[in-house]
Amino acid sequence: MINITFPDGSVREYESGVTGYEIAQSISPRLAAEVLAIAVKAKGDSSVGKGVTYDLLRPITFNASVNLLKWEDDDAKKVFWHSSSHLMAEALESLFPGVKFGIGPAIENGFYYDVDLNGNQITEADLPKIEKKMIELARSKERFDRIDVSKAEALKYFTEKGDQYKCELISELEDGTITYYRNGAFTDLCRGPHLMNTDVIKAVKLTAIAGAYWRGDEKRQQLTRIYGITFPKKSLLDEYVALMEEAKKRDHRKLGKEMELFTFSQRVGLGLPLWLPRGAVMRNILENFLRKKQSELGYLPVVTPHIGAKDLYVTSGHYAKYGKDSFQPIHTPQEGEEYMLKPMNCPHHCEIFRSSPHSYKDLPLRYAEFGTVYRYEQSGELHGLTRVRGFTQDDAHLFCRADQLQEEFEKVIDLILYVFKTLKMTDYMAQISLRDPNNKEKYIGSDENWAKAEQGIIDAAAKKGLKTVVEYGEAAFYGPKLDFMVKDAIGRRWQLGTIQVDYNLPERFQLEYTDADGSKKRPVMIHRAPFGSIERFTAVVLEHTAGHLPLWLAPDQVKVLPVSEKYADYAEKVCGLMKNSDIRASVDSRNETLGKRIREVAMLRVPMLVIVGEKEVADGTVSVRQEGVDKGTMTLDGFKEHFNAVLAEELS
Ligand SMILES: [Zn+2]
Ligand SMILES: [Zn+2]
């Protein structure tokens, strides 16, 4: 008999070899119908985390803690979607004989499979046919069987099948560790885990076709990547499709064009955004918003160049990380002289710290810079403003003493929460990434410092009442960190706002301060960026608000529209008075119908419309529309009061 411990701490006895499915059945048939996989952690296993995800039919032969995973669990979704990629592969094999397979993982929303169609072409028009086949196969309730196989046997099978991709993968595996999974007529090299059978897959949507190089290598075969998503209920697919429709409307690339914020030019280069005047205004507002708050919090502005000598990044370790796969060094007429586009601002800031001696009383020092950095991303990875090759971080580096770490951390959390609040991002959680306690040698910095920093972060997060998850083993090798995940208006999660402790760079740059007893000490460094980058943040704000920016952030706050050209002079006068009160206003008195001009302003998503005609001129008033809602007629003073009240409310 073995002991199985449940998440609530209760323990039950089972025969050795019991399966997850039998355990679920022993609790309730309803649970057994809903459960998709089981997380298993052997008793005495001191590794961190939730354990290993097992197939429901895999025997458990040792005392263990378990967690029965349902659709709501991310790990169950992974199993569900990975199994769906096998189902799709089976459908493809029956529709396109001779097809060969690369890899087919689960991803954040669904799955894909990279396939070599053996000379066949498929287009979007073929997807419904594949979906239909998948549903047909799913309904036949095929079991996913896990089969141990020797390396020789596996190589023989896939060689005979003519699948050189699987053969290449197998050749890299160790004998004795190789498993197949088989569903129906389809056999795949796979370590699992998988669903018990296919019939829980009730709804299928294949979402896209793209090209993908085998193993991401541009010099190797181009495969076809087919993306899809599946659900255990048809209604969940309907919800997902509706969400995707809504997401399409909010796509920041579309909004950026309509609102005339930014553009890209092939001639300038891929992934290098060009900010149009309205976008640049919005960007300045974001920067100034943070600048003002940072100045209140004792940050000091610094400015550093866009390039740095290669040695700087060799010292910092960034060359090793970004060197080969990134932008290559810039050469000068001077033989052997090499510069790099900066991938990070930190090394420059370390040199600023080093430029003068510091006493313990000078700390913390907080250097802030809107620093533009350049990182080479593969062209296929580029996406609007969220994945670019040049971007501006709202960066700052805090140099402090170990005893100041927690307080500084708390202040940074406050700043990030202030940013979220002002942008009405009210649904967020924080992930605390700590060391893997069983693998301490992987990390730089003393045990004592790590313990202090980790506890400091945990305490700071608790003190601020953050909803947190703790992930062991997710810290960087140079220090623990805290990341914020924000849910946007339609429920999508974005990672924004990072705070990171660093013991590495102070060491590499030999940074020091003089302590009270006269001894030299290393400061601790905190990297932090509440926005992450201006580019990415702009994208998130646009998608979150669907382009309806808060008044304080809108590049054009007010558009004044005369009913006809006759009232253009009055419109100009009204606009001038608004500008005198620091309102970002402009007039559109073009010889177009009022309806057409209103539609164009709607495209630009200007929050406030002021319309003036005969009556307004006679009364010295304006007619106001705010976000499409008629606010009636106001005197100019009345309008300013209304305007300021809206601003005050937003920034309170
Ligand atoms: Zn698999
Ligand atoms: Zn940094």
Which pTM value belongs to this model? 0.83
Q: Which CATH class is domain 558-651?
A: alpha beta
Q: Which CATH class is domain 281-302+359-545?
A: alpha beta
What is the number of residues in the chain? 652
What six digits make up the tokens of 630? 């008629």
Arithmetic mean of pLDDT, 60-76: 94
Q: Is 368 helix (H, G, I), strand (E, B) or coil?
A: strand
Q: Is the pLDDT of residue 119 over 90?
A: no
% of the chain surpassing 70 pLDDT: 100
- pLDDT tens-digit map of 201-232: 999 999 999 999 999 888 999 999 999 999 99
Which amino acids are annotated catalytic? 346, 375, 393, 395, 397, 481, 527
Start and end residues for every CATH 3.40.50.800 domain found in the chain: 558-651
Whole-Å CA distances, 447 to 258, 405, 441, 442: 53, 16, 10, 12
- What residues are neighbours of ligand 2 (ion), with CB under 5 Å? 346, 527
CA 342 – ligand 2 centroid, Å: 12
Start and end residues for every CATH 3.30.930.10 domain found in the chain: 281-302+359-545
What six digits make up the tokens of 626? 């705010």
CA 636 – ligand 1 centroid, Å: 67
Ligand approaching nearest to the C-alpha of 347: 2
Start and end residues for every CATH 3.10.20.30 domain found in the chain: 2-70
Q: Are 423 and 487 in contact (CB under 8 A)?
A: no
CA 562 – ligand 1 centroid, Å: 64
Whole-Å CA distances, 82 to 115, 229, 560, 594, 629: 15, 10, 55, 54, 47
Predicted confidence at residue 302, as pLDDT, reads 98
| CATH ID of 2-70, from 3.20.20.70, 3.10.20.30, 2.60.40.10, 3.40.50.620 | 3.10.20.30
Residue written as tokens 């890299």?
172
| CATH ID of 75-245, from 1.20.120.10, 3.40.50.10310, 3.50.50.60, 3.30.980.10 | 3.30.980.10
CA 121 – ligand 1 centroid, Å: 24
Q: Is the pLDDT of residue 479 over 90?
A: no
- pLDDT tens-digit map of 315-353: 988 888 777 778 999 999 999 999 999 999 999 999 999
d(CA 138, CA 361): 68
Predicted confidence at residue 645, as pLDDT, reads 96
Ligand approaching nearest to the C-alpha of 87: 1
